[in-house]
Structure 1
Amino acid sequence: MAKLSIEQLEKSFDGQHILENLSFKVDEGEFVSILGPSGSGKSTLFHLIGGLYTPDAGNIILDGKTINGKKGSISYMPQSHALLPWRTILENVMLGGEIAGKKDTKRAQEMIEKAGLTGYEHAYPSQLSGGMKQRVSFIRSLLSPQHLICLDEPFSALDEFTRLEMQHWLLSIWEKHKRSILFVTHNIEEALYLSDRIIILSNKPASVQKEIILPFSRPRQEDIMLTEQFLQYKRDIYRALKFMN
């Protein structure tokens, strides 16, 4: 499992300050969600953690090692499934392991079965529904050797019913494997349902506006979203975000 520390991160583009003195942590096996106004720098943060950008100041520390500007330290799942259309489902989920020289066909087939995709191992992405493609994408993230998974609004393109189904499935898989997850979303309910902790970012330049430790026990059931405690958290977060806009 992985432990991530973001320490006083700063980043600007063309004179525009995007991140300012941004600091937070993700503990081993923790599910942390990031909420913030549109354009607050959430994607920039992921690009920094993934090594695509180098911070102007501050450090990104993963398992005690500074990874500023270093690629390949995390497993990343973008908004779109990003599956390779010429590779079968089995070949797609094994991609990260192949790159790292740790190909494990047996485990890949087991994960495909757990995802309810038995019989689709040799199908191609074009033959799958949107929800099925996202399952494949997440399995690929789990099978990659990196211990920290960054999920960038992975369910935003799905319809509401499929989105709820995918949230429930994600939790059921994550609770078995307990990988450290940093999850970006614009959906307050989604963040509350999935997370151990929520970090709310301010408008640009983004810094941590508020941090919420959630009291909901695991495993989570969908009916938790109808409880007064859940709804109160939702109201409080909505007001915090509305105040920033």
Structure 2
Amino acid sequence: MSKLEINQLSKRFDDTAVLENVSLVIKDGEFVSLLGPSGSGKSTLFHLIGGLFAPDSGSITLDGEDITGKRGKISYMPQSPSLFPWRSVLDNVLLAQELKEKPNRDKAIEMLNKVGLSEYKESYPRELSGGMKQRAAFVRSLLSPQKAMLLDEPFSALDEFTRMEMQKWLLSIWEEAKPTVLFVTHDIEEAIFLSDRILILGDRPATIVKEISIQFSRPRVEDIRLSEEFLHIKREIYQILRSDSHD
């Protein structure tokens, strides 16, 4: 079980209020995306959940345990794959396990095989494409012992075609293990395609201004991007983001 709860979280830096009374619940095995204007506090919220910052008020719990201000409780995948250049792909994906428990090399090799990287397990990051590096970083996150994952725009640096392929790949792997995921993105289509729910942050000081449930069946198929319902949700989210940024 890995239910993540955020209750009345607020944070300011000097005279700037970034987050104000943000509350949300992510259920066990749920994939939730976070959308918001640039600078609305999405990364700050991630850093608070990951324990890199302490909130001014409010609390964060994981399965009932208070993890407010505690590091190492959440698996985190940033925008950059952050692979160590001197370690092989296999050694990179084992890193999170090394920090917490005895590494399971057989499980790591099995996961690398599932994501099409088995023949690259002894290669180094410089020998991989951007998409391959992201796959390796995601395997590292999946193998970490933490119960929930934060994904911070992991595909933002990829070209559109590679990004769409990575979205489909991510869902195929996620649907096997069903980790609890909070996913930050600026891409409305990406959020709709991946998510069970979408939470929209308003401008600073940010609060959650809208929650949208995505009812498309899983596994998701590419054709839903062209459906009227998909386009309707996209227009709705665009109007919310546009109106909030102009208030």
Scaled to the shorter chain, the TM-score interval is: over 0.9
Q: In structure 2, what is the Cα distance between the partners aligned to 1:116 and 1:147?
A: 24
Task: Say yes or no: does 1:82 pair with 2:78.
Answer: no
1:3-25 CA-to-partner distances (Å, cap 9, x unmatched) read 00010000000111000010011
Q: In structure 2, what is the Cα distance between the partners aligned to 1:143 and 1:71?
A: 17
Counterpart for residue 229 of structure 2: 229
CA RMSD of aligned residues (A): 0.5
Instruction: Output the TM-score relative to the length of structure 1.
Output: 0.99
Q: In structure 2, what is the Cα distance between the partners aligned to 1:215 and 1:161?
A: 25
Counterpart for residue 110 of structure 2: 110
Per the TM alignment, residue 118 of structure 1 is displaced from its structure 2 partner at its CA by 1.8
Counterpart for residue 28 of structure 2: 28
Counterpart for residue 242 of structure 1: 242
Per the TM alignment, residue 102 of structure 1 is displaced from its structure 2 partner at its CA by 2.9
1:36-89 CA-to-partner distances (Å, cap 9, x unmatched) read 000000000000000000000000111101111100000000000001111000
Q: In structure 2, what is the Cα distance between the partners aligned to 1:140 and 1:222?
A: 26
Counterpart for residue 205 of structure 2: 205
Per the TM alignment, residue 206 of structure 1 is displaced from its structure 2 partner at its CA by 0.6
Count residues with an aligned counterpart: 245
Q: In structure 1, what is the Cα distance between the partners aligned to 2:182 and 2:102?
A: 24
Per the TM alignment, residue 101 of structure 1 is displaced from its structure 2 partner at its CA by 1.6
Per the TM alignment, residue 235 of structure 1 is displaced from its structure 2 partner at its CA by 0.4
Between the aligned residues of both structures, percent identity stands at 62
Per the TM alignment, residue 244 of structure 1 is displaced from its structure 2 partner at its CA by 1.4
Q: In structure 2, what is the Cα distance between the partners aligned to 1:15 and 1:47?
A: 19
Q: In structure 2, what is the Cα distance between the partners aligned to 1:98 and 1:36?
A: 35
Counterpart for residue 154 of structure 1: 154
Matched AA of 1:67 = I
Q: In structure 2, what is the Cα distance between the partners aligned to 1:194 and 1:101?
A: 31
1:208-237 CA-to-partner distances (Å, cap 9, x unmatched) read 100011111100001110000000000000
- Equivalent residues in 2 for 1:161-172, closer than 5 Å: 161-172=161-172
1:146-176 CA-to-partner distances (Å, cap 9, x unmatched) read 0100000000000000000000000000000
Aligned-partner SS, 1:241:
helix
Counterpart for residue 17 of structure 1: 17
Q: In structure 2, what is the Cα distance between the partners aligned to 1:207 and 1:242?
A: 16
Counterpart for residue 184 of structure 1: 184
1:99-121 CA-to-partner distances (Å, cap 9, x unmatched) read 11231000000000000012101
Q: In structure 1, what is the Cα distance between the partners aligned to 2:26 and 2:13?
A: 26
Q: Which runs of 4+ in 1 moved over 3 A?
A: none
Give unmatched runs, 5+ long, in structure 2. none
Aligned-partner SS, 2:136:
helix
Q: In structure 2, what is the Cα distance between the partners aligned to 1:209 and 1:151?
A: 21
Matched AA of 2:209 = Q
- Equivalent residues in 2 for 1:125-136, closer than 5 Å: 125-136=125-136
Q: In structure 1, what is the Cα distance between the partners aligned to 2:125 and 2:63?
A: 34
Q: In structure 2, what is the Cα distance between the partners aligned to 1:147 and 1:185?
A: 21
Aligned-partner SS, 1:119:
helix
Give unmatched runs, 5+ long, in structure 1. none
Aligned-partner SS, 1:10:
strand
Counterpart for residue 69 of structure 2: 69
Instruction: Output the TM-score relative to the length of structure 2.
Output: 0.98
